[in-house]
Amino acid sequence: MSTPAQPASAIPSGLKVCTSVPELLMLLEFVFGGLVWILVASSRVPFPPNQGWVMFVSVFCFVITTLLLILYMAGVQKSSSAWNAVDVFYHLIAAIFYLSIAVLEADDTRFRFSFAPPQFAKIYKINIAASVFAFLATLIYTIHAILSILRWKSASS
């Protein structure tokens, strides 16, 4: 008596990862997440706990996105259909986390520099750029989560 085989994941492997639409977004997540990380590290935030949260989220998502990209290219997801769920839940959590740091960074920038002297103009511009890239990363993670949900739904039916 044979046991039914588990359906394989719908996530592509190898170099196809760089050509499929949801996984192609991982490259943008990698770039925008890295930019947020670099810009926040090079600027001043008035509240150190806020900067700590922003750095944690950007570095955590950068590392996990990189790890998932490497695992997908290695084809680890072919062993189980649970990788679809991992992809969906990670990108949902990342989108929520990035939304929180984007709002936090924008609010800190507005609060800190609303009455700042002109010598802080460069730091102000760096913080604005970090806020913009954090919102772009939020958008990319959200789009990836939605496309992953659609893929998971179509793979399960």
2 pLDDT band (50/70/90 cuts)? very low
- Those residues whose C-beta lies under 8 Å from the C-beta of residue 49, and which sit 6 or more positions away, are none
125 pLDDT band (50/70/90 cuts)? confident
- Average of per-residue pLDDT across 108-124: 76
For 5, what's the count of Cα atoms within 13 Å in the CB-facing half-sphere? 5
pLDDT tens figures, 43-92: 876 677 888 999 999 999 999 999 988 888 888 877 677 888 888 999 99
- DSSP class of residue 116 equals -
